[in-house]
Amino acid sequence: MDIKSMEKRLEIWKRILLIDIGAAFTLLATGIADLPNISEPYFPGWYGVWFILLLASLFPGFILLLGKHWMQISLQDRLNTMFGFFALTWVNFFSGGIMGRGISSEYIYFLLVSAVAIAWGYWGSRRKILRSRSDIFP
């Protein structure tokens, strides 16, 4: 595939990211609004919706990171979209914990470690891009 078609596909992935953001934050808002309700969750089929949203945000991030065709586009061009999907995956895990109401200390630890890993990966990737720019123009 040529780079022009990959750049067009990247724009499509950016639009999909915006749709996923809306869906994930709607699920998060539903979970937060339902917190005072001690009984069963308001929306009984939320497990399926949550799982589909989780997969819809996790797989595109890995595809943009490790995809053979996506390596043709520079990391700088796909970095924000890729880490946007990873951050959205974290939001989905967070909303799943809120809606599940069974938040254990291990789950909180998982959320903290994954947030640090996402932030560290993003920071390291940005630093790598900035370092490569300074090598080209000393």
The pTM for the full model equals 0.80
Note the pLDDT of residue 137.
Answer: 56
Collect contacts of 96-99 with beta carbons under 8 A, ≥24 apart.
Answer: 96/50, 96/54, 98/28, 98/31, 98/32, 98/35, 99/27, 99/30, 99/31, 99/34, 99/41, 99/46, 99/50
Considering only CA atoms, which of 129, 5, 115 is closest in space to residue 79? 129
Question: Are the C-beta atoms of residues 129 and 79 closer than 8 Å to each other?
Answer: yes
Domain count, the chain: 1
Where in the sequence is the domain holding 13, given as residue range(s)? 3-136
Q: State the DSSP H helix or E strand holding residue 137, giving kind and residue range, or none if neither.
A: none
38-93: pLDDT as tens digits: 555 555 667 788 888 889 899 999 998 888 888 888 888 888 899 999 999 999 98
